[in-house]
Amino acid sequence: MTVALLISLRMSLTVSLLVLIFISGVVAQDGWAVHYNPKYICALNGSTVTMKCMYRYLVIDSSQNSFWSTIRSSDEDLLNDPYYRDRVQYHGDQQQSTLRLMNVTEKDQSTYHCRYKDDRFRGRYRDRGVDLSVTDLQVEVPERVIEGDKVTLTCKTTCSLTVQPTFTWYRNGRYLSSSTDQLHLQPVSRKDAGRYRCAVLGQDLRSPEVTLNVRYGPKSISVSISPSGKIVEGSSVTLTCSSDANPPVEYNWIKGTTIVGKGKTYTMKEISSVDSGQYKCRSSNEHGEKLSEALTLNVLYLQVEVPERVIEGDNVTLTCKTTCSLTVTPTFTWYRNGRSLSSSTDQLHLQPVSREDADRYRCGVLGLTSPEVILNVRYGPKSVSVSISPSGEIVEGSSVNLTCSSDANPPVQNYNWFKGTSLVGKGETYTMKKISSVDSGEYKCKSSNEHGVKYSTALSLDVLCECLCLCSPTGRILTLIKTIQSLEDHSHILLN
Ligand SMILES: *[C@@H]1O[C@H](CO)[C@@H](O)[C@H](O)[C@H]1NC(C)=O
Ligand SMILES: *[C@@H]1O[C@H](CO)[C@@H](O)[C@H](O)[C@H]1NC(C)=O
Ligand SMILES: *[C@@H]1O[C@H](CO)[C@@H](O)[C@H](O)[C@H]1NC(C)=O
Ligand SMILES: *[C@@H]1O[C@H](CO)[C@@H](O)[C@H](O)[C@H]1NC(C)=O
């Protein structure tokens, strides 16, 4: 296609030109020939861009007569548009015009044309113009990052920047490095986790922060115990497991080889010696599991240990037992019926033990005290005595109880009654009904338990008869008459 273009410009006569051009495919139809450099700009949000147009086939009379426009400014001079006015600067001469547009935003994305103020050219602007794209910065991180992966963070723009700038990288607000639009973390470690942003050196523009989440299995697991120090029977104890992992772990508690609990903490209320043992915590997430070192739990308790069977006269030793071996040899305290004794070792000697020693004992060490134990001292019967009921004169025909009492531990199981040397009865009480003078005599009680036998002193029983005694000259009893009233009726003569 051949185009003939005649452009006449109002200039001083000396520089007036007549240009006749024969060109094909270069000049816009019915347009004027301008050349843009660059033709496309990808600019960072907030930056300043410079567009340049060169008049190709003409020289304009004055730079004052050129201006820039866009559809957004309705093809009018940008300087007349309040939206642009403050951000626009023109520079130029008779062959070119430069537009400086400051603080560009996405709203400025458009095609910009350079124009000439001459009504003859209105409606004939068909040149390509300069396409402006404005981009922000965006850090792109892989969705799922596991420690050890090869990870690349990319500082993304929506258009490809005309000039390749130097990118700077920040982690958690701190400058990291200046490099390209890619940050390589190879291999990535959990220490790389954080908030990343990128920026362009020399520009105010910064990307929003993006969090890099690095997933990893449990590390550095540890178990702590509360309260620390000695653990006293009956108290409450909490074990706490902590491990570093992402995502968070599940915890299991293992005593020996058995799982005894779940969760970050494991609480034992009213702890007792059966809770002593080795505890471990296992933490696991989808990326691995880890077992803590064993924590040995010693439930400290004190107990007074006494021999099973203590018999009066034995040499007896009470021992203050602890469930764990104490690293230092501490001072023990012994208490008898609540009162402290002088003994300071873990043993209390009762040599020989007497029944007066049968008391309540407890021991103490390091601020702990044992429960009280009662010392049971066994002994055979002591101080056996016989009592008679009723007391006073005993008249023939009445009923009499003899009761035996004795001090013994365990209590006397067997009582035997003797009149003189012959066994007459058993049991604690010996009853004689309708007593008669033949029952007079000396009575003894024999009491016994497994530790011994003891006889009471003799009790002499005199049965008084309500009778008249006719005595022979020799002094022997000749007659026994029951009652005075029956003297006539019943008269017996007993001859001895
Ligand atoms: C571009 O920059 C302007 C001014 O700093 C800001 O208001 C706007 O949000 C930015 N655009 C984006 C998409 O961040
Ligand atoms: C460009 O932005 C900077 C900072 O955001 C501001 O100080 C300056 O006044 C702006 N310039 C124009 C011409 O709007
Ligand atoms: C009891 O201890 C005393 C002194 O410690 C000793 O003389 C005695 O032989 C011991 N008795 C017995 C039965 O061991
Ligand atoms: C003798 O003991 C029996 C049984 O314990 C009792 O019933 C009786 O009253 C006692 N007699 C006297 C005289 O104490």
Task: Check whether the bond before 142 is cis (ω within 30° of 0).
Answer: no
Which residue among 136, 198, 200 is best mutated to probe the pocket of ligand 1, counting the most ligand atoms within 8 A of its Cβ?
Answer: 136
Any bridge partners for residue 183, and if so which?
153
Contact 319, 347 (CB under 8 A): yes
At 5, which amino acid appears? L
Contact 52, 36 (CB under 8 A): yes
Residue (of 140, 299, 319, 270) closest to 212 by Cα position: 140
Ligand 3 atom closest to Cα of residue 349: 5
Phi and psi torsions of 356, nearest 5°: -70, -15
349 and 279 in one domain? no
Residue ending a domain, among 135, 169, 187, is: 135
90 and 56 in one domain? yes
292 and 253 in one domain? yes
How far away, in angstroms, is 376 Cα from ligand 3 center? 20
Indicate whether 69 belongs to any domain: yes
Residue ending a domain, among 269, 299, 329, is: 299
Other Cβ atoms less than 10 A from the Cβ of 480: the count is: 15
Cα 440 to Cα 103, 160, 389, 422, distances in angstroms: 139, 138, 15, 14
Any idea what the Cα angle at residue 286 is, between residues 285 and 290, rounded to 5°? Answer: 45
Residue 121 has a pLDDT of 57
222 and 198 in one domain? no
Sequence-ordered list of residues with C-beta below 8 angstroms from that of 12, at least 6 positions apart, any chain: 61
How much of the chain is helix, strand and coil, in % rounded to 5? Answer: 5, 50, 40
Indicate whether 482 belongs to any domain: no
148 and 131 in one domain? no
Residue 490 DSSP label:
-
Region 97-118: mean pLDDT is 90
Q: Domains in the chain: how many in total?
A: 5
194 and 256 in one domain? no
How far away, in angstroms, is 158 Cα from ligand 1 center? 14
Enter the pTM of the model. 0.54
Write out the residue range of the structural domain in which residue 463 sits: 379-470
Contact 251, 321 (CB under 8 A): no
Is the confidence at residue 97, as pLDDT, over 80? yes
Residue ending a domain, among 266, 299, 332, is: 299
Q: How confident is the model at residue 469 (pLDDT cuts 50, 70, 90)?
A: low
pLDDT tens-digit map of 151-170: 999 999 999 887 788 999 99
Tracing tokens 């873990």 back to the chain, one arrives at: 346
- The rounded mean pLDDT for the chain is 83
Residue 119 has a pLDDT of 58
Written as six digits, the tokens of 334 are 């012994």
Is the confidence at residue 25, as pLDDT, over 50? no
How far away, in angstroms, is 449 Cα from ligand 4 center? 25
Does the beta carbon of 431 sit less than 6 angstroms from any atom of ligand 4? Answer: yes
Q: Are strands 258-262 and 250-255 parallel, antiparallel or unpaired?
A: antiparallel
309 and 291 in one domain? no
CATH of the domain at 308: 2.60.40.10
Is the confidence at residue 239, as pLDDT, over 50? yes
Residue (of 487, 402, 392, 479) closest to 447 by Cα position: 402
Candidate from 59-63, 74-78, 468-472, 491-495 with smallest mean pLDDT: 491-495
Q: How far apart are CA 85 and CA 82, in angstroms?
A: 5
117 and 190 in one domain? no
Give ligand 2 pocket residues (Cβ under 6 A).
86-87, 102-103
Phi-psi region of 453 (alpha: psi -120 to 50; beta: other; left: phi over 0): beta
Contact 207, 136 (CB under 8 A): yes
Higher-pLDDT residue of 217, 32: 217
Higher-pLDDT residue of 493, 91: 91
82 and 28 in one domain? yes
Which residue among 312, 314, 315, 349 is best mutated to probe the pocket of ligand 3, counting the most ligand atoms within 8 A of its Cβ?
Answer: 315
Ligand 4 atom closest to Cα of residue 401: 1
Residue with the smallest CA separation from ligand 4 atom 6 is 401
Does the beta carbon of 46 sit less than 6 angstroms from any atom of ligand 1? Answer: yes
Residue with the smallest CA separation from ligand 2 atom 2 is 103
182 and 92 in one domain? no
With the C-alpha atoms ordered 70, 71, 72, 78, is the resulting torsion angle positive or negative? positive
Does the beta carbon of 389 sit less than 6 angstroms from any atom of ligand 4? Answer: yes
pLDDT tens-digit map of 382-412: 989 999 988 888 888 889 999 999 999 999 9
429 and 458 in one domain? yes
Q: How far apart are CA 343 and CA 351, in angstroms?
A: 14
Q: How confident is the model at residue 356 (pLDDT cuts 50, 70, 90)?
A: very high
Residue 63 has a pLDDT of 60
Residue 17 has a pLDDT of 31
Ligand nearest 83 Cα, by number?
2
Indicate whether 391 belongs to any domain: yes
337 and 399 in one domain? no
Indicate whether 62 belongs to any domain: yes
Residue with the smallest CA separation from ligand 1 atom 9 is 105
Highest mean pLDDT among 368-372, 422-426, 461-465, 490-494: 422-426
How far away, in angstroms, is 428 Cα from ligand 4 center? 12
Region 443-458: mean pLDDT is 94
Residue 30 has a pLDDT of 42
Could you tell me what percent of the chain has a pLDDT over 70? 82
Region 210-235: mean pLDDT is 88
Residue (of 426, 427, 464, 460) closest to 443 by Cα position: 460
Indicate whether 423 belongs to any domain: yes
Residue 474 has a pLDDT of 57
